[in-house]
Amino acid sequence: MKIINIALLALIVAFSSCNSGGKKDKSLVPNSVGNINALQIITPNDLWNGIVGEAIRNNFAAPTDGLPQDEPLFSMNQMSPESFTGFARSNRLFLYVVLSDEDKVSITTDEYAKPQAGAIIKATSEEKLVELINKNAPQIIEKFQASEIKERQRRTAISLMKTDSLKKAMGVTMQIPSAYRIAKATDSFFWMRKDLKDGTTNILVYQVPLSMIDNDSTAVGDIIKIRDSVGSKLLPVEDDGQFVTEDAYAPYLFTTKIDGKFAYETKGTWEVKDDWMGGPFVNYAVRDEKNNRYLILEGFTYAPAVSKRDLQFELESILKSAKIE
């Protein structure tokens, strides 16, 4: 009788975790955990130490664009599938790679925790696993990074800086952490910064006429010319130096959308001419046709003694929160 009662209880629990369609009710999953850009890799040790692990590292630990030193896209930790139970399933990002009797790739949302982004790759051979990893990595990385941007924005929203003056002058609002302060503000230029233990993170907001960025073929050159002109004139540096784009490394140019509007995304490194100061920047030139302008949103870091990936990622999440009136 006792065994029957236990069995009935197990069935009740199982059914209660499913919705009316028989699918798992993801509203019941626990809260996820983990540092920003921390990726849990679940794969057997023999795969991790062979060509499959190499393919995972080549894609998911590739150097992050626009940083002065190589830093991986994600900080990875590997465990065997047998260990992927209980609390270990609570990581916000996971990649599950195993041999199977089928070739399949699945991208999941809130599978074991919430919020959570995951990817499951199964294949009948190691060579096929490598093929599927290489083919699907860009899509999976995009999913992971979008998920992490939302998580970074959620953390930022806990304590926000007041941006009424920015809205009034520039017609834009952003979710900026309260740790930032206004370093300089005019009717056409805003500079906000946060002090670090050894350095700063910075946000710039200004605007230029639409005609100053001509077309895709000249966009990166136009954007660099604009930021060098503004930076050298409006950002004070010691000994009459100039805050400009470092010309030793070609910036990366992408296209994206900010608040539904087309934007050029430029990532690269800045320097102070004839000085040892430098660091990474991310710049969004947002095409705002209604106001006949490109709204320029930029985040840059000066932190010579520390890793900069997550500092720049926070800046990217702030800039992507922009709402343009």
- Which amino acid appears at position 80 of this protein? S
Q: List the chain pLDDT tens, one digit each, 325 residues.
A: 444 444 444 444 444 444 544 555 666 789 999 999 999 999 999 999 999 999 999 999 999 999 999 999 999 999 999 999 999 999 999 999 999 999 999 999 999 999 999 999 999 999 999 999 999 999 999 999 999 999 999 999 999 999 999 999 999 999 999 999 999 999 999 999 999 999 999 999 999 999 999 888 899 999 999 999 998 888 866 556 688 998 878 899 999 999 999 999 999 999 987 777 899 999 999 999 999 999 999 999 999 989 999 999 999 999 999 999 8
Q: Do domains 20-156 and 164-324 have the same CATH topology?
A: no
Taking CA 72 as the corner, what is the angle to CA 66 and CA 76, rounded to the nearest 5 degrees? 155
Domain boundaries, the chain: 20-156, 164-324
**CB-CB contact of 309 with 64 (8 Å):** yes
CATH assignment, 164-324: 3.40.1000.10
State the Rg of the chain over Cα: 23
What pLDDT, on the 0 to 100 scale, is given for residue 237? 66
Instruction: Give the separation between CA 65 and CA 201, rounded to whole angstroms.
Output: 18
Instruction: Give the separation between CA 255 and CA 263, rounded to whole angstroms.
Output: 6
Structure tokens at 2: 């006792």
Only one residue has tokens 């930022």, namely: 156
- Is 20-156 in CATH node 1.25.40? no
What pLDDT, on the 0 to 100 scale, is given for residue 15? 42
pTM, two decimals, is: 0.89
User: From start to end of the chain, where are the E strands?
Assistant: 38-42, 75-79, 93-99, 104-109, 117-123, 172-173, 181-185, 189-196, 199-209, 243-245, 252-258, 261-272, 278-288, 293-302, 323-324
